[in-house]
Amino acid sequence: MKIHMGLGVLVLLLLLTNGALWAGDITGGATTAITTLKTFAAGNPASAGEVNQNFALVRDAVNDNDARLDALAAGGVTSAHIADGAVTSADIAADTITAADIAAGAVGTSEIADGTITTTDILDSTITSADIAADTITAADIAADAVGASEIAAGAVGTSEIADGTVSSTDILDGTITSADIAADTITAANIGTGAVGTAEILDGTITAADIAAEPGIEYSDVSGYGTQTAFPTSNSTFASVSVTAPAAGYVFVVATGEIYIPAAKYNNYTYLGLDTSESTTIPAYGRNVIKIYSESNVYAPTCVSFTFSVSAGTTYTYYLRGYSDVASSIYYLHQNLAAMFFPTRY
């Protein structure tokens, strides 16, 4: 009865193992079939020794496999145990793949998440023009002072590439600015160096009184040449005149010189010379701008009459040399000269 029960258990084990028991290194994939089990025929008696021998073989195989299964559970699975293509992302724990696990050239664009590459991920000096998409480099991508002449292609920088107000004198090659580069009406006095404007830079006929600084100037009238004489009238008359346009408020000093000839026959008479700003004014017998000559004999009298007039800016003034004599004819005014000098200040 016990022998038949042993046979039943053995048959059950054989069924569970698909009719074969295996012994060997299953962690490495190499196993050996148990081929020494005793086979019993139906109707033939089985001895206890043979049955026990079969049980012993099965026990040893089971215990051996159990040990190898424990080793498998403790990390004994190798590449040889895994079928090709059988491992998916669900089988891999997060943050366990390292550089050593990745084959050279295995990571491409599709394996890299957008926006995850930073400066520290890029090997120095490995980015070339072919790696950069057109029109993707902005000012924020360029380090200060990183771009020099050697980094810029000829003709690559135009108006749109230059920020307003960023080009200074040091950025401009000496002698390269021409009139075509300068906008109309942009040059001011502050842009012109001292002494830079000469005759060649001034358009003919464009200087007016307003352009002339308030500095001393002179205007004169040479009434007659040497040897020319003018008879003195007996009523107030004009011998000469001179005009001055004052560039600024100031003063005009007017002076008249000449020589008066009075013959002996005309003694005991008076001759008058004066300066005025009107031809209708009567020269007075006495005044600060009048000289009075009295003669008792034949005489040549050098004369000089002068006066200082105040003036306003931009106004044209005319000064008249006027005179008369108490005696008609034979008295002459020679070598007459009239000059007017502008002065901007008084001391």
Q: Which two tokens stand for residue 6?
A: 């042993």
- The total of other beta-carbon atoms located within 10 Å of residue 226's CB is 6
Q: Which helix (H) or strand (E) holds 345?
A: none
Let me know how many helices (H) and strands (E) the chain has, helices first.
2, 11
Q: Which pTM was predicted?
A: 0.41
Q: Which residues contact 143 (CB under 8 A, 6 or more apart)?
A: none
Q: Where exactly are the structural domains of the chain?
A: 2-79, 217-343
3-state class (DSSP) for residue 303? strand
Alpha carbons within 13 angstroms on the beta-carbon side of residue 236 total: 15
Question: For 217-343, which CATH class?
Answer: mainly beta
Q: Running DSSP on this structure, what letter comes out for residue 300?
A: E
SS3 232: coil
User: 110 phi and psi, to 5 degrees?
Assistant: -65, -20
Alpha carbons 70 and 117: distance in angstroms, whole number? 43
Residues 237, 324 contacting (CB under 8 angstroms):
yes
Q: Please list the pLDDT of the chain residue by residue as tens digits (347 residues).
A: 444 444 444 444 444 444 444 444 544 544 555 667 778 788 888 888 878 887 887 887 777 777 777 766 666 677 777 888 888 888 888 888 888 888 888 888 888 888 888 888 888 888 888 888 888 888 788 888 778 777 787 777 877 778 887 888 887 888 888 888 888 888 888 888 888 888 888 888 877 756 666 666 776 666 554 456 788 888 888 888 999 998 888 999 999 988 888 776 655 677 888 899 998 888 776 665 567 776 666 778 888 999 999 999 989 999 999 888 877 667 888 888 899 999 887 77
Residue with the two structure tokens 């810029």:
152
